[in-house]
Amino acid sequence: MADTLIERPGDLAATTLTRRRLLINAGVLAGGAMLAGPLAACGSTTATNTGGNPKRGGNFRLGVTGGGSGDIIDGQKIVNKPDQARLVAGFETLLEYDTHYKLQTTGLAESVTQDAPDKWTIKLKSGITFHNGKPLTSDDVIYSLQRITDPKQGLFGTAGLNSVDPNNITKVDNLTVRLNLKQADSTIGDQLGQYYNGIVPVGYTRAGEQIGTGAYKVQSFTKGQQSVHVKNTNYWRSGLPYFDMVTIIDFPDVAAQVNALLSGQIDAMTDVPAAQITVVTGHSNLAILEGQGADWRPLCMAIDMPPFDDVKVRQAFRLMVDRNAMLQQVFSGHGRIANDLYSPFDPAYDSSLPQRHQDIAQAKSLLHSAGKDNLVVDLHTTDGAAGMVDSANIFAHQASAAGVTVNVHNDPNYYGDAYLKLAFSVDFWGTRNYLPQVANGSIPTAPYNECHWPPKDSNYISLYQQALKEVDASKRADIIHQMQKLEYDQGGYIIPMFNNLVDAYNTKVGGFNNGSKATLNLDSFGHGYRSIYFTS
Amino acid sequence: MLDRQGPTGGPARTGGIRLFILRRILQGVLVLVLVSIVVFAATQALPGDPARAILGRGATPASLAALREQLHLNQPKVIQYLTWATGLLHGDAGRSFAAQEPVSTYLSNRIVNTGFLLVLSGLISIPLSILIGAYAALWRDRPFDVITSLATLVFAALPEFVVGVALVLLFATTVFHFLPAITLIPPGGRPWDQPIAIILPTLTLVLAVTPYVVRIMRASMVEVLESDYVEMARLKGLPERIVLRRHALPNALGPTFQVIAINLAYLAGGVIVVEYIFNYAGIGGALRDAVSNRDLPVVQAIAMIIAGLYVFLNLMADIATILVTPRLRTRL
């Protein structure tokens, strides 16, 4: 499944969303240094490419890596990467992340407020209609949230919204919905901004008609080949979108994808391999778009399984990694080194913790004092996402300097069999903020807790409960810092780096943000293809 | 003429051919039954479990068990095989695990696409290679022969993916830019809607097959031209045209048909690589996708299609060989 990108629930994640901030964003309160307004206006490290003036019309042809017979279109789920490209064409979320990974009210909701630790209110913008002309109302939001929280549907959003009580969502009026949670949860806003928590109309099914509120509606779709999407002429954002048509084409082979871009058969492509970047930049009409993704491929040490039940061994292993070398070798330098902590875009991410560097002498002495000289360990990996196998092999090589023998096992049956039961394994994750990520991978109730974190005597879980209840962002950040310190000192993850999203496009297309922190390729596909255009 | 030396007369001869064809068809069916067992066994031996491949990281023991039940993976292998084989006899190849639709629905357009590419390549490469081979033999050691020999040797030595990539570099991306680098077939469209987009894949396949056929045709033609009966025909004073068309060519074609059949059958496999290079939506891409998804019904269906094609082409080659070779024809 090398071509398949499978993300787990809550791929994007939680920013510190307070009532105050959302109201500011919604323009209800004045003041603050907050940016509000359309996504296209956001850009400090980002530079909107200026190919010329927007021209209306045209067929935007996008080549997406991967895809196959398992392709689906669903407003709330993806299987392969082309499914992401198709989802965002037709479906929109209540809140949206901007190019700085800040949550904004540029989506379907006018405001999303936490009234109490376990009560949230969603107020919809008026005048939004679905592709079939039906107006968007509270009923659609309730149906969408009930569909996401139904475990039988197997959707990504289920785990992230598990505090939502599907039977206790109330319709206040035609545009207002109140969520009465099963327990306090400060991350609801983050979840509502995840691209796969799209809002679908009452009665929506995957097998039925694909009706959303997005800029383009599906005209035709052939699994493993391509889909054609036509402009939604009643789109609620006036004047948008620009293209008449968007064609999304699957490419199982990246060489064919690059060739199609070079010969002008497609206008943009996802995931340019490092070796092909110079091929693309060698053409004056093509350009690379590099997004600062926060995808990560951790090496996971189970803290309750030998030899990693000794914290000194975990610390030693974290010191054996040459992060820069690994970034160069696995992603040709297209990424940033990491500090064994996830969620770098979270405003509560503690960047004051010192960057860890390779220190073989210290690693050896830690292993010696733990009585684990000449250690031999098995490292399990699989071809689940780009870099998983390479990271394992390079780690094995680097560890040999500290006298540790790492035997790498590349096992196609890894997921569903040995997964989560291994002492030492490689996994992959998408971008999320800290608390939603914890819910998915770092507490005993999380579906994918590879490291069996936290230790039994730790106060980590009580800190987590406090953070979920804390409505004040700065107080919550203090609690999160304590949690991160615990993981930084004793945790089971080795997180060497975050990789960038490297895409390419023909410069006749304008409106992409370079350096965006959008979590999907091509600046989140030009924000659902509404902020990109052909230039004149 | 040689066929007059045969022991039997006309009616017996045609009956012999009919019987021969019937026998070969029965043999073909037997081969297909054996192939179906091998294909089924081979797909069972694929590393990895389809239920796990479908569920990926979301696999839990409960969901795995439920999915295995749904896909009938818990039944004994013999029952699974018999269910599948009887389904095939009724034209039902099962449901694709990954696409969640009948295999026939999923594959029908792809079979048309691949079939079109194969037929087109065959229609171009067969007459072309017979012609080149025959003339190379006729003009032995003359410039045409030397050049074609060298060229066929080079193309025979190069694998399709090298030829395909070189053609893309030459005509689509780097040197010239007048042909499309990939073949995009829109949903509901057919490959022949945009003839320009199928030039490169067709050319790649033609270049992959032609060299072998040219070389065997040339060799067999050289042998025939040196034979006693051709010399006899010439000595009788027959015009060279008649000598070639009536006496030399039919006898040289016999062995060539066998090679053509093998090469066309090989094309069905080579097309996987070509479809990959040109992002051509055919059964090759579907097979690759199905193997990586452990989509066994699709793998089995495509393997049976390719096996069926082999059997069919070999049958055709045998019949054609018999028909053009008087010696064999009369012996039946």
Average the pLDDT over B285-314 and give the result.
87
Q: Please tell me which of the candidates A69, A257, A448 has its beta carbon nearest to residue B98.
A: A69
Q: Which pLDDT does position B189 carry in this prediction?
A: 83
DSSP A419-480: TTS-SEEE--B----HHHHHHHHTSTTSTT-TT--S-TT-SHHHHHHHHHH---HHHHHHHH
pLDDT of residue A417: 66
pLDDT of residue B5: 41
Provide the mean pLDDT of chain A: 87
Name the DSSP letter for residue A212.
-
- How sure is the predictor about A22, in pLDDT bands with cuts at 50, 70 and 90? very low
Distance CA B248, CA B190 (A): 41
Chain A interface, Cβ < 8 Å to B: 1-4, 6, 8, 68-70, 154, 220-228, 247, 249, 251-253, 255-257, 259-260, 262-265, 384, 412-413, 415-417, 419, 448
Q: Is A510 exposed, middle or buried (0-12, 13-18, 19+ CB in 10 A)?
A: buried
Q: pLDDT-derived band of residue A524, with 50, 70 and 90 as boundaries?
A: very high
Give the pLDDT of residue A459: 95
pLDDT tens digits, B218-260: 999 999 999 888 888 889 888 888 888 888 888 888 888 888 8
Mean pLDDT, residues B273-295:
87
Instruction: Answer whether A392's CB lies under 8 Å from A376's CB.
Output: no
CA distance A5 to A119: 34
Residue A24 has pLDDT above 60, yes or no: no
Average pLDDT (B186-203) is 88
The whole-angstrom distance between residue A239's C-alpha and the CA centroid of its chain comes to: 29
Cα–Cα distance between B71 and B64 in angstroms, integer? 10
- Pick the residue with more confidence: B291 or A208? A208
Question: How many helices, marked H, and strands, marked E, lie in chain A?
Answer: 15, 24
Residue A7, pLDDT score = 38
**CA–centroid distance for B330 within its chain:** 29
- Residue A36 in this model has a pLDDT that exceeds 70: no
pLDDT digit string, tens, across residues B142-175 = 999 999 999 999 998 988 889 999 999 999 988 8
Closest to A428 (Cα-Cα) out of A392, A395, A464: A392
Residue located via tokens 């995957």: A206
Q: How do A216-222 and A226-231 pair as beta strands?
A: antiparallel
A73 pLDDT tier (thresholds 50, 70, 90): very high
**How far is residue A528's CA from residue A91's CA, in Å, rounded to a whole number?**
8
Q: Any idea of the CA torsion for A489, A490, A496, A498, to the nearest 10 degrees?
A: -80
What's the average model confidence in pLDDT over A269-283? Answer: 90
The answer for residues whose C-beta is within 8 angstroms of residue A308's C-beta and 6 or more apart is: A301, A302, A314, A317, A423, A424, A492
Any A CB within 8 A of B45 CB: no
For residue A98, give the DSSP letter: -
pTM of the model: 0.84
Task: Inform me whether the pLDDT recorded for B275 exceeds 50.
Answer: yes
List of chain A residues whose C-beta atoms are within 8 Å of the C-beta of residue B51: 416
Phi and psi at residue A490, to the nearest 5°: -125, -5
* A308 residue type, one letter: F
Contacts of A382 (CB under 8 A, 6+ apart): A388, A389, A410, A411, A412, A414, A415, A426
The fraction of chain A above a pLDDT of 70, given in percent, is: 90
Give residue for tokens 């493993």.
A224
Are A415 and B285 an interchain contact pair (Cβ–Cβ within 8 Å)?
no
Question: Is residue A31 scored above 70 in pLDDT?
Answer: no
pLDDT tens-place string over residues A413-430: 677 667 888 999 999 898
- Per DSSP bridges, beta strands A47-48 and A513-514 are antiparallel
Residue A39: pLDDT band (50, 70, 90) is very low
Q: Does residue A47 carry a pLDDT above 60?
A: no
Beta-strand relationship, A59-65 and A268-269? parallel
As separate numbers, helices (DSSP H) first and strands (DSSP E) second, chain B gives 14, 0
Q: Return the minimum-mean-pLDDT range out of A94-98, B55-59, B162-166, B268-272.
A: B55-59
The whole-number pLDDT of residue A33 equals 28
Q: Which helix (H) or strand (E) holds A140?
A: helix A138-149
- Predicted confidence at residue A206, as pLDDT, reads 93
B125, pLDDT greater than 80? yes
Confidence tier at A16 by pLDDT (50, 70, 90): very low
Alpha-carbon Rg of chain A, whole angstroms?
Answer: 23
Cβ–Cβ under 8 Å, residues A232 and A242: no
Q: Look at A415 and B48 and tell me if their CB atoms are within 8 Å.
A: no
Closest by alpha carbon to A533, among A268, A249, A195?
A268
CA distances (Å), A181 to each of A166, A467, B208, in order?
Answer: 9, 16, 65
Name the CA radius of gyration of chain B, rounded: 24
Helix (H, G, I), strand (E, B) or coil at A392: helix
Residue A438's nearest CA partner among A418, A421, A460 is: A460
Distance CA A56, CA A46 (A): 24
3-state secondary structure of B160: helix
Strand order in the sheet with A109-116: A109-116, A119-124, A176-181, A164-173
Contacts with A410 from chain B: Cβ below 8 Å? none
**pLDDT confidence of B58, banded at 50, 70, 90?**
low
Question: CA-nearest residue of chain A to B57?
Answer: A415
Partner residue facing B182 (CB), from A70, A154, A265: A265
Cβ contact B210:B155 at 8 Å = yes
A-chain residues near B296 (CB < 8 A): none
What is the rounded CA–CA span in Å between residue B179 and residue B182?
9
User: For A426-446, what is each residue's pLDDT tens digit?
Assistant: 998 988 899 999 988 999 988
- Closest alpha carbon to B324 in B220, B241, B233: B220
> Using one digit for the tens of pLDDT, what is the confidence trace for B168-179?
999 998 888 889
User: Over 80: is that where the pLDDT of B15 sits?
Assistant: no
Q: Which residues of B touch A253 (CB under 8 A)?
A: 276-277, 279
What long-range pairs does B219-222 form, CB within 8 A, spacing at least 24?
B219/B137, B220/B133, B220/B252, B220/B253, B220/B254, B220/B255, B220/B256, B221/B133, B221/B134, B221/B136, B221/B137, B221/B138, B221/B248, B221/B249, B221/B252, B222/B137, B222/B140
Average pLDDT score over residue span A323-339 = 94
pLDDT of residue A11: 35
pLDDT tens string A390-420: 999 999 999 999 999 999 998 876 776 678 8
Contacts of B188 in chain A (CB under 8 A): 220, 222
CB atoms within 10 A of CB A148: 27
For residue B172, give the DSSP letter.
I
- The residues near A441 (Cβ < 8 Å, ≥ 6 apart) are A429, A448, A449, A450
pLDDT of residue A415: 73
| Chain B residues inside the 8 Å CB shell of A276 | none
**Region A498-509 average pLDDT:** 93
Q: What's the sign of the alpha-carbon dihedral A457, A458, A459, A462?
A: negative
Neighbouring C-beta atoms of residue B4, cutoff 10 Å: 7
Residue A193: CB partners within 8 Å, gap ≥ 6?
A12, A93, A94, A95, A96, A97, A103, A107
Decide if A249 and B279 are in contact by the 8 Å CB cutoff: yes
| Residue of chain A whose alpha carbon sits nearest to that of B102 | A69
Please say whether the dihedral angle defined by the alpha carbons of residues B270, B273, B278 and B279, taken in this order, is positive or negative: positive
Residue B279 has phi, psi (to 5 degrees) of 50, 35
pLDDT tens sequence across A123-176: 999 999 999 999 999 999 999 999 999 988 888 888 889 899 999 999 999 999
For residues A22 and A477, which has the higher predicted lDDT (pLDDT)? A477
Of the partner residues A6, A220, A257, the one whose CB lies closest to the CB of residue B56 = A6
| Residue A59 burial (C-beta neighbours within 10 Å; 0-12, 13-18, 19+) | middle
B7 pLDDT band, cuts 50/70/90, is: very low
A112 beta partners: A122
Nearest by Cα to B229 from B246, B214, B216, B205 = B246
**Residue A2, pLDDT score:** 33
Query: Is cis: bond before A347, omega within 30 of 0?
Result: no
pLDDT at B75: 84
Which of chain A's residues have a Cβ under 8 Å away from the Cβ of B165?
255
What span, in angstroms and rounded, lies between the C-alpha atoms of A273 and A283?
16
Lowest mean pLDDT, pick from A3-12, A184-193, A340-349: A3-12
Tokens of B248: 């030399």
Cβ distance B181 to A260 less than 8 Å, yes or no, reads yes
Predicted confidence band at B48 (pLDDT cuts at 50, 70, 90)?
Answer: low
Predicted local confidence at residue B241, as pLDDT: 86
Q: What is the ipTM of this complex?
A: 0.80
Residue B288 has pLDDT above 70, yes or no: yes
To the nearest whole percent, how much of chain B has pLDDT over 70?
91
- Phi first, then psi, for residue A199 (nearest 5°) are -95, 125
In the predicted model, is pLDDT for residue A80 greater than 60?
yes
Q: Give me the torsion for CA of B109, B115, B121, B126, rounded to 10°.
A: -170
Q: Which pLDDT value is given to residue B16? A: 75
Closest CA to B131 of B121, B144, B150, B117: B144
